[in-house]
Structure 1
């Protein structure tokens, strides 16, 4: 076996070099064929049929010159191969009479207008027929090349595996040969890039062969470095981590020259390196610093080549890398660095119109810019959810939220991240409340987690910060943008965040019990939203201002409904919400916003849902007195409010919202008569089984009266 070792080495080297030599020869032949085709096309265009010539007596024949030899390849210039027979002018065999050039030019008559215009009119190029690529063309020009590249990469990997199984070479020789193969493939790809841009036939899209060769070499390089670490132990975890990461980053840099396929390969390799190289004592700081470098390289490449898919893939990978260390309390600082660095890199490279980001359109919201900021803010929210309340993670999330709002304030392209940030802030506050439920200020806790007063104070402080951050900026940004979608997003966040934070604090502190202080805060929000609606109404119309007015008006109504919910209980809440329909209809007369009319109709649906949940309104406390009981207030009050609201809405126009409110008024009127009759016939028991004669007679009479009245 030792005698065969040199021969086997030569055979293996020949096996490695044969595909590369074959590809190089194929590139050269393909280049010559394309040059041939180009020259034939150019010659055919030059010898195309000319316009009719003048009589021979007037125009002497020009002297015939010998054709020049092509500089690269010899081409058969016979007329039968170049142009049709009809397009070749006949030339006399006799040589033309020699004459001085000056006399010939002097004797030449003045050119006619048609002859003078002929040389300045170039021949119209033939229209290139539109070709549709068939499966065979795609397979022959793209897939075969990519399959060849994959075969080269797998061949290098399997060659090492085969050598291991047969015991031909030692570990060092295997790694050396694989490294040589990787270098040769990458060098061949660079040579092909400088000499031959693409492969395939003229007229058909083809695969970029230099990229295929470089990608194959990169795969072999990844496999070689990993084998040196995992299979043979030549290098330790730290050098392997650095080597694999360097290969991935260099591959990303090479994608500037070789295209997106190599960028995808480099991103996958760089992001998968921490999964391939493990250590019994993981260093999260080294991991997240490495990921920050990889993310910066990928974002810079995505910005330089405007590859949105690369930026999206990097962002998704960055958010997923939050999960591995999130359960370890000791990883809070590295994880906070990871999400903060990711958010900063998105702001630098991805956000349009901000720092190094791509140019932005005025008033346009870019989904890429907004989504990148929102994704890393989601990572910060996950970090808060995995740590105890009011920990350092909450401070990190608050700072990143404020930074997101500041970037959206400066760049309209990032305005789409503001509503998402508001939702995440509300979810974080709600999670805090759920973690400390059964903790009240109005009564001692009945069990479960008991928090200290400082915990409650921190909860209130963060809630005030979030409500003020979104509420104030949402109002101040109105009128600053030329696009309609930007103020709508800011107004939505400015209304939703304060209401959601107030609801979360109410649950945390009051525990869904009646609370006058929180009702007063809700009334304050209603007043502020109403003031914002009034201010925006008096301003000059701007893009999106009408929708923002409707959003703030809706927020005022929602805050008022929340105040009633927090201050009232039992049936009075239903009655109060019903009279809000009449109030909204009255406001719509003074401020004719279309959203207000639909909001009144939506309130009718909400009250009907409340009625379906418990038709008795107040449970078992209806009362036994006929007619004058809680049913009269619970059904009669909404019926009266809906009649008033429908009448006010129809003063402006008779549309769908007005008809919905009128339908609600008629329904509650009919239900009032029906439930009062049943209450009287069954002595206060609405759920009594059966029906007696008295109830049936009264129901028929009441139905007849209502039908006549309607």
Structure 2
């Protein structure tokens, strides 16, 4: 059975590839013959057809002529002789467009070839394994035969190169793979070759593979480069030597990038750069000590990254190269960004040492210069600058254990300041200098403005408590002045070149932004939101003044930052009741958002601007609601100290929010601005939610011992129920007007009005309870006076609603009056008739009876009076 498997394996490994090669040769010959036949057939079809000879003219019968006149010569004899068709000159054959290969042609002529090449490569490996298993040959002979098989594959491919270049390419790739496998066995399995010599031999194989790719094709280079990157893993001397390793990796990258430069093979460049960077990641993850990256050897890693970036730039834009394709550009961008990330990571784990900072700064400068020369490199250059800024922002100059070279706590604020000044000069001044004459100046203006802003912010967060020569507000003013000078220069250039308009807008924002930052540098945290809120109207004004749509879109981000800064400020209050930190910490951002919306509203012609205006107005309204709630909470908490403090807070907040909703409804009726209606709806929802959750559910005085006040009528029940009910009733009246109605119709008006009427009924009921029980309503038995009081109060409440419904011509109020009266009637018959005694029972029935008679008379004589 094993012999059968061996024979089958030999058949598939040796016979099938030979048959496939032979079939492919025959198929190629047949293809060439078919192409020749098609060309001949097309040439024959394109040749002009011979013109048929003119029909012979029959002789006319002789006509007798006058004896004195001579007969003229026949016309037929004067015609030139007809050309013979056989003597026409043949036209050159018309070239025929070759048809695209079909599936069968690809399968037989290409796929089978590569499968056969893989089989041949595996055959060498299996042959070595078989010889090991059965012990036929010595290790040296096995390796020699493996290398000899690679030579044979390469020679066979060259012999068949004229017949089929695809076969030659496949056999060359198989030969390179066979050499890698044989040398690997000689070094790692049999230890026949010294690791250093084996490393050199494998490097030579890699170079041969890269060189053969120029002759045979890209796939041979892929095999060679892939094997070259595997070589350091399979050949190890036991002692890490990073410098020779990075030199070897760079030479492989250089070969791949040369091929990209000459042939445009971006796949080789991607594999070459990616393999080298993977080795960098592995060594960094393993740790500097395990990788040997200590002392002078540590410089080899940043040198390798710098050389990688420079070489790939040369491969794209060097003289004598092919045109840059989209794939080549994407590969280069990914390589540059990866180099920046790895350099920053190495800088971070190394404790932000100055030598590593120098490499990162050089890499940044080199790529900025390349981007200034080649605009397609602007994106990776700006991303690299952002990575450098992020690396500076996360650097703490007072951290313990500053990396793998320092293990003690030390103050590196001097280095921190020096690197910040260098980066600020590069990004601020360099970015401005690159703006002048750039294809897209706004990108470099973003680097100059945002770069200096983030560097300044990172320095402030780390050194805000340090004693510096210049205070932070003075530094902010200096930076504002520098950007003002840049804006002045760009303003002059803008009149002759409109490209500088966007850059001018960014520098104007930088001026206002640094001036705004100068305020909170020595003040509380809530001033950060204030400074950003002051910046928003400036952004809107500049966007409209200079017609910069992208700056208008930036207001989305700015508004979100303002709201986030307010929410993360912690809401400090201070000692004052109204004029405290809440007033400016939330009030000024609220005003800033609303003012920004007002500026944008002047030219809110497009849909995006209208949406931005509405969002800003709603965000401002939300901050206003938050301010009201916090101010009420703070004020009531400093004035009331009993169990009714939260009850009172709920009532005051409900009143203020309902009053704001009512005012916004009036503004909407006058201005017809949808934002006012939306904000009014938001405040209405807040008021209704506070009333339902606070007054009815969570803080209901019937359930908990909550003090509602000592005095009758004018107490906390009025603040929580009566006044909110009246305001909600007015809001419902506004909502039922046609100008206030939305797609929901009159349903919001009915819902708010119903809540107002129910709240009024609750207030009447709880007021009777307070008169009977005192400030605590949750305990005590119901007396006859209290029971009668409910009936009387409900009756009066129903009559009041009926009067309002009659005067305002509101059917809803009249229906509510009828409901209250029916509730009172049910209560009198079901409760009072059994519980009340004496005059209370008489008064209850008597009062309700007179009321019902009066209601009937009112309906008959005023509401539904019959006409004669």
What range describes the TM-score normalised by the shorter chain of this pair? 0.7 to 0.9
Give the conservation status (yes or no) of the 8 Å contact 1:681–1:694: no
Give the RMSD, CA atoms, in angstroms: 4.2
Distance in 2, Cα, partners of 1:126 & 1:294? 43
Corresponding position of 2:211:
253
Equivalent residue of 1:416, what SS?
helix
Q: Counterpart of 2:134?
A: 166
Match of 2:382 in 1: 419
Q: Give the whole-Å Cα distance in 2 for the aligned partners of 1:432 and 1:257.
A: 51
Instruction: Indicate conservation of the 8 Å contact 2:302/2:356, yes or no.
Output: no
Provide closer, same or farther for how the CA distance between residues 190 and 340 of structure 1 changes in structure 2, counting only shifts above 3 A.
same
Q: CA deviation at 1:305?
A: 1.2
1:94-493 to structure 2, matched below 5 A, reads 109=81, 133-134=102-103, 137-193=105-161, 195-198=162-165, 208-326=166-284, 327-328=287-288, 330-332=292-294, 333-344=296-307, 346-348=309-311, 350-351=313-314, 354-356=317-319, 358=321, 366-433=329-396, 436=399, 450-452=409-411, 455-481=412-438, 483-484=439-440, 487-493=441-447
C-alpha distance in structure 2 between counterparts of 1:512 and 1:400, whole Å: 31
1:118/1:581 Cα in 2 relative to 1: closer, same or farther (>3 Å)? Answer: farther
CA, structure 1 residues 598+537, in 2 after alignment: closer, same or farther (shift >3 Å)? farther
Aligned CA distance change for structure 1 residues 464 and 124 (closer, same or farther; 3 Å): same
Secondary structure, counterpart of 1:281 in structure 2? coil
Query: 2:730: which partner in 1?
Result: none
Supply the distance in 2 between the matched residues of 1:585 and 1:343 (Cα, whole angstroms). 42
Q: Is the 8 A contact 1:182 1:217 kept in 2?
A: yes
**Matches of 1:438 and 1:222, distance apart in 2:** 44
Partners of 1:622 and 1:222 lie apart in 2 by 80
User: Closer, same or farther in 2 for the Cα pair 1:321/1:109, shift >3 Å?
Assistant: same
8 Å contact kept, 1:179–1:221: yes
Structure-2 change in CA distance of 1:684 and 1:157 (3 Å): farther
**Contact kept? 2:210, 2:224, Cα under 8 Å:** yes
Identify if the C-alpha distance between structure 1 residues 678 and 246 changes in structure 2 by more than 3 Å, giving closer, same or farther: same
Distance apart, 1:537 and its partner CA: 3.4
Contact conserved, 2:266 with 2:328, CA < 8 A, in 1?
A: no
Query: What are the within-5 Å matches in structure 2 for residues 663-678 of structure 1?
Result: 663-678=618-633
- For 2:820, the equivalent position in structure 1 comes to none
Post-superposition shift, 1:520?
A: 2.7
Of 559, 563, 567, which residue of structure 2 is paired with 1:612?
567
Q: Flag the structure with larger Rg.
A: 2
Residues 353-386 of structure 1 show CA distances to partners (whole Å, capped at 9, x for unaligned) of 7434746789x99444444333333333232123
Distance 1:570 1:172 in 2: 76
- Deviation string for 1:501-551 (max 9, x for gaps)? 222222222269999822332333333334333432331465853443344
CA distance 1:347–1:41, shift in 2 (3 Å): same
Q: Aligned partners of 1:43, 1:693: CA distance in 2, in Å? A: 100
Give me the whole-angstrom Cα distance separating, in 2, the residues matched to 1:13 and 1:698: 92
Question: Pick from 472, 495, 500: which aligns with 2:449?
Answer: 495
Query: Deviation string for 1:372-423 (max 9, x for gaps)?
Result: 3333333332321232333432222223332332333333343233212212
Judged with a 3 Å threshold, the aligned counterparts in structure 2 of structure 1 residues 469 and 357 are, in CA distance, closer, same or farther, namely farther
Query: Contact between 1:149 and 1:212, CA under 8 Å: does it hold in 2?
Result: yes
Shift in CA distance, 548/197, structure 1 to aligned 2, threshold 3 Å? farther
Partner in structure 2 of residue 41 of structure 1:
38
Rate the CA distance shift 1:282–1:46 in 2: closer, same or farther, 3 A. Answer: same
Give secondary structure in 2 for the equivalent of 1:436.
Answer: coil
**Structure 1 CA distance for aligned equivalents of residues 364 and 427 of structure 2:** 10
**How many corresponding residue pairs?**
621
Distance in 2 between residues matched to 1:708 and 1:141, nearest whole Å: 82
- Partner Cα distance (1:422, 1:246) in 2: 39
CA shift digits 1:257-314 (9 cap, x unpaired): 1212111111110111000001122322221221222221111112111011211222
Instruction: Check 1:391–1:58 CA distance in 2 against 1; reply closer, same or farther (3 A cut).
Output: same
TM-score (norm 2): 0.63
**Cα shift at 1:144:** 1.9
Cα distance change on mapping 1:672 and 1:137 into 2, 3 Å? same
Q: Check 1:684–1:474 CA distance in 2 against 1; reply closer, same or farther (3 A cut).
A: farther
Q: Any conservation in 2 of the 1:336–1:396 contact (CA below 8 Å)?
A: no
Contact 2:528 2:565 in 1 (8 A): no
Pick closer, same or farther for the CA change 1:397–1:703 going to 2, 3 Å: closer
CA 1:41–1:566: 2 relative to 1, 3 Å: same
Structure 2 SS opposite 1:461: helix
Partner SS state of residue 145, structure 1: helix
Is the CA contact 2:128–2:146 (under 8 Å) kept in the aligned structure 1? yes
Identify if the C-alpha distance between structure 1 residues 412 and 559 changes in structure 2 by more than 3 Å, giving closer, same or farther.
Answer: same
Distance 1:164 1:509, change over 3 A: same
Contact 1:422 1:496 in 2 (8 A): no
CA contact (8 A) 1:244 1:273 kept: yes
Q: Deviations over 1:289-340 (max 9, x none)?
A: 2122222111111211101121122222222222344422552544533543
Contact 1:409 1:477 in 2 (8 A): yes
| Cα distance change on mapping 1:510 and 1:636 into 2, 3 Å | closer
* Equivalent pair of 2:187/2:193 in contact (CA under 8 Å): yes
State whether structure 2 residue 475 is matched by structure 1 residue 526: no
**Cα deviation digits, residues 622-677 of structure 1 (max 9, x gap):** 53x3x444444344434444454444443455643444444444444455555545
State the shift of 1:344 in Å.
Answer: 3.4
Unaligned runs of 5+ in 2: 1-8, 57-78, 669-868
Instruction: Tell me the distance in 1 between the aligned counterparts of 2:91 and 2:164.
Output: 35
CA distance in 1, matches of 2:328, 2:542: 32
Q: Would you tell me which structure has more helix in proportion to its own residues?
A: 2
Deviation at 1:594, TM superposition (A): 3.4
- Closer, same or farther: CA 622–646 of 1 in aligned 2, 3 Å: farther
* Rounded Cα–Cα distance in structure 2 between residues aligned with 1:174 and 1:685: 97
Deviation of 1:459 after TM superposition, in Å, equals 1.6
Q: Are the structure 2 counterparts of residues 42 and 309 from structure 1 closer, same or farther at C-alpha, using a change threshold of 3 Å?
A: closer
Cα 1:359–1:555, aligned 2, differ >3 Å: closer, same or farther? farther
The CA distance in 1 between the partners of 2:21 and 2:113, in whole Å, is 13
Equivalent residue for 1:579, pick from 524, 531, 534: 534
- Give 1:684 shift: 6.2
How far does the alpha carbon of each residue in 1:20-58 deviate from its partner, in whole angstroms, 9 at most, with x for none?
865664465344323432343344335448655344689
Task: Tell me if 1:559 matches 2:514.
Answer: yes
- Post-superposition Cα deviations, 1:126-181, rounded to whole Å, max 9, x if no partner, equal 887x76844x5543333222211111111111011101111112222212221221
Provide the C-alpha distance between the structure 1 equivalents of 2:589 and 2:546, rounded to a whole number of angstroms. Answer: 24
Q: Which has the higher contact order (CA 8 A, sep 6+)?
A: 1
SS of 1:323's partner is helix
